[in-house]
């Protein structure tokens, strides 16, 4: 394998979310930007949710039903991030070209992992409480919203977590339990209140439910249509997404 092969592979791994940012800046339309970035319309909306969830300030401002299937533009924070990413790409190409060994490039590739968790919420550690061999990590999301994660003491040390450490909370969509805001269950460590933004039915499984939080972040949950109907949960309804602290995974930057 030539050195250019792993180099090309690494450079091609530019997240499609960032490619979408570039296209939104150029196109001003979610539909056109999605097509140019090689994404479906639904995947583009998912990517915008992830971008805004992972940032302390929204990166994309969007509107439903605009020209071309929904308008979108970069916020000032999004424009700064895109400019920084473009500079980093140029530097990355220079560094990778200078690599002495293909194995080094392949190792970098293994380190650039992705996650299957639909919900990735950026925040900062605001408290660490010891619980035997575990730690209860309190995380403050943008807007002052808080959630808790229970991880082992070894994980706390390995991630080098401390007060103020930036983290990403990973929560699988299937782990969220939905309840009307007026009748939330007290059995869960975490309860994030929001409004149902969209329900995407599936013919062979649970519906996908998108929940807009007050802080601008978005959650994705899975729920049976019958369960939603029984609880009176429909688009526009206030809802609590609840989950256990043990169901929150934490990630940090290398």
Would you give the DSSP letter of residue 144? Answer: G
Above 80 in pLDDT, residue 63?
no
Q: Which two tokens mark 224?
A: 């049976």
Would you give the DSSP letter of residue 100? Answer: S
Q: Where does the chain show beta strands of DSSP type E? A: 60-63, 71-74, 119-131, 134-140, 146-152, 166-171, 177-180, 190-202, 205-213, 218-223, 238-243, 249-251
Sign of the Cα torsion 194, 196, 200, 202 reads: positive
Q: Where in the chain is the domain with CATH 1.10.10.10?
A: 4-111
Query: How distant is the alpha carbon of residue 112 from its chain centre?
Result: 16
Do the beta carbons of residue 64 and residue 72 sit within 8 Å? no
For residue 103, the model assigns a pLDDT of: 65
In this structure, the number of other CB atoms found within 10 A of the CB of residue 117 comes to 18
Q: Where in the chain is the domain with CATH 2.40.50.100?
A: 119-170+247-251, 173-243
126 pLDDT tier (thresholds 50, 70, 90) = very high
For residue 70, the model assigns a pLDDT of: 58
117 pLDDT tier (thresholds 50, 70, 90) = confident
For residue 24, the model assigns a pLDDT of: 92
Q: At what angle do helices 16-27 and 41-54 cross, to 10 degrees?
A: 100
Q: Which residue has the tokens 């290398």?
A: 254
CATH architecture of 4-111: Orthogonal Bundle (1.10)
2 pLDDT tier (thresholds 50, 70, 90) = very low
Q: In which region does residue 80 sit, left (phi positive, over 0), alpha (psi from -120 to 50) or beta (all else)?
A: alpha
- For 79, the enclosing helix (H) or strand (E) is helix 76-97
* Residues 149-205: tens digit of each pLDDT: 999 999 999 899 999 999 999 999 999 999 998 876 777 899 999 999 999 998 888
Mean pLDDT of the chain: 84
Instruction: Decide which of 214 and 187 is more confident.
Output: 214
CATH no. of 119-170+247-251: 2.40.50.100
3-state helix, strand, coil in the chain (%, to 5): 40, 35, 30
* Residues 14-27: tens digit of each pLDDT: 567 788 889 999 99
Q: Which two tokens mark 181?
A: 């805001």
Domain 173-243 falls under CATH 3.40.190.10: no
* Residues 7-61: tens digit of each pLDDT: 444 444 456 778 888 999 999 988 999 999 888 988 888 888 888 888 888 899 8
Identify which of 232, 242, 239 has the alpha carbon closest to the alpha carbon of residue 181: 239
């Amino acid at each position: 394998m030539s050195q250019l092969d792993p180099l090309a592979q690494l450079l091609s791994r530019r997240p499609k979310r960032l490619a979408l940012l570039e296209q939104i800046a150029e196109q001003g339309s979610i539909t056109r930007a999605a097509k140019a970035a090689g994404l479906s319309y639904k995947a583009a909306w998912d990517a915008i949710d992830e971008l805004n969830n992972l940032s302390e300030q929204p990166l994309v401002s969007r509107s439903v039903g605009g020209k071309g299937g929904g308008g979108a533009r970069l916020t000032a924070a999004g424009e700064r991030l895109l400019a920084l990413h473009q500079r980093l790409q140029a530097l990355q190409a220079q560094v990778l070209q200078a690599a002495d060994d293909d194995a080094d490039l392949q190792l970098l590739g293994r380190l650039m992992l992705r996650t299957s968790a639909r919900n990735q919420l950026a925040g900062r550690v605001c408290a660490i409480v010891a619980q035997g061999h575990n730690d209860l990590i309190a995380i403050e999301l943008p807007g002052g919203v808080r959630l808790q994660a229970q991880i082992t003491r070894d994980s706390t040390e390995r991630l080098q977590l401390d007060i103020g450490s930036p983290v990403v909370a990973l929560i699988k969509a299937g782990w969220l339990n939905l309840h009307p805001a007026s009748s939330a269950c007290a059995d869960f460590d975490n309860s994030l209140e929001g409004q149902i933004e969209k329900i995407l039915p599936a013919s062979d499984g649970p519906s996908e439910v998108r929940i807009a939080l007050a802080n601008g972040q978005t959650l994705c949950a899975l729920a049976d249509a019958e369960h939603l109907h029984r609880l009176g949960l429909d688009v526009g309804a206030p809802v609590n997404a609840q989950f256990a602290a043990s169901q929150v995974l934490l990630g940090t930057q290398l």
